[in-house]
Amino acid sequence: MIVKLGKFKLKEDYRLEIISIYNLKGGVGKTTSTHSLAAALKELGKRVLVIDIDPQSSLTFMITDEKLKATTKDVLLELKNVEESITKGEQFDYIGSTLELTLSELELNNTYNKESILKNQIERSLIHENYDFCLIDCPPSMGIFTLNALTVSDSLIIPCQCELLSLEGLNVLFQALKVPTKKLNQKLKVKGILPTLLNTRAGISKDAYEMLIESYNDYKIYKPIRVNAKLGELGIDKRTIFEIDKKSNGAKDYMEVAKEILNG
C-alpha cells in the first residue's frame, strides 16, 4: 500500500525500524534531531517511541519536566521491562533518562553480555507491534550505553554540523564503528548523514556542506537542517518544533528529512 502526501509517495511498512542517532562529537544537533525527527514522523502518522540513552538526558529535558516512573537505567539494569518504562507522551512515547544513568555504567560493565541488554529487553517486549519507529538518542562516546544502542539498532543516522571540525571527526567515527559493527551487529547500516546547523549566510558553512557531499558520496546525505532560532526554543515549554512554529525553517527541514526516511 502506498500513501500519497503531496508530491511524495510514502511506503506503508508496519515493521518496526530502530534507528540510533549518533556522533562522537557533541554539539552537532544530535538531540535536537532525535526530538524533531520523532515529531515529524508522528506528524506523518507514524507511531514513534524515543529512547534517551544519554546520561546527560538532554532529550528527556526537551520532552518533560515531570518525574519519570522509570528510566533507561531501569531497563539496562533489568529492574523493569520496556513496557513498564515507557511514558506516554502527547506527541510521541518515550523512555527517558536522568543523570543517575551514569552511576550504572560500572555495574553494567561488569555484567555478562553487557552490550546486548537493551536488545534482549526489546526482543522480549511488544514494541514491534506498537510502534513503527524507535529513535535512540546516543551519548557522544563509544561507551556501554552507545554499544547497547548500536547492538539493537537496524540503522544509524549521523548528524554532522556544517563546519570543518565536525567533518574531520567523521573519519574517526567511521573507524570507531568498525569493531561494534563486526562484533556486535553485522546488520547495522548507516542510513544516512544528516547535515545540521547550516548557515546559508556563512561561506565556510556552505563550503563544509559541499565538502561533506563530495567526501562522503558513498552514503546517503539528507537535505540539510538550516540554522533556525525556533529550534533553540525546544525544551522551554516542552513543545515540538511543529507546535512552536510549523512554518519555521526548522520544522520544514526536519519534515523533509522525515519524508526521505520514509522513502528509504
pLDDT (0 to 100) of residue 202: 86
- Mean pLDDT by groups of 10 residues along the chain of 264 residues: 42 76 95 98 98 97 96 97 96 96 92 95 96 98 97 98 91 95 97 96 92 96 97 96 98 98 90
Domain span at residue 205 reads: 15-262
Identify whether 1 is part of a domain.
no
Q: Per the domain annotation, does 3 fall within a domain?
A: no
Q: pTM of the predicted model, to two decimals?
A: 0.93
The three-point CA angle 33-35-40 to 5° equals 90
103 located within any domain: yes
Choose among 27, 50, 56, 61: nearest CA to 236: 61
Domain presence at residue 99: yes
pLDDT at res. 207:
94
Residue 10 belongs to a domain: no
Residue 6 lies in a domain: no
Does residue 4 lie in a domain region? no
pLDDT digits (tens, 9 = 90+) for 60-107: 999 999 999 999 999 999 999 999 999 999 899 999 999 999 999 999
2 in a domain, yes or no? no
Please give the single-letter amino acid code of residue 54.
Answer: D
CATH number of the CATH domain containing 71: 3.40.50.300
Our count of domains for the chain comes to 1
Distance of CA 242 to the CA centre of its chain: 17
What DSSP element (H or E) covers 67?
none
Beta bridge partners of 48: 133
| CA-to-CA separations, 160 to 86, 132, 209, 263, in angstroms, rounded | 29, 25, 9, 21
CA nearest neighbour of 92 among 195, 262, 261, 241: 241
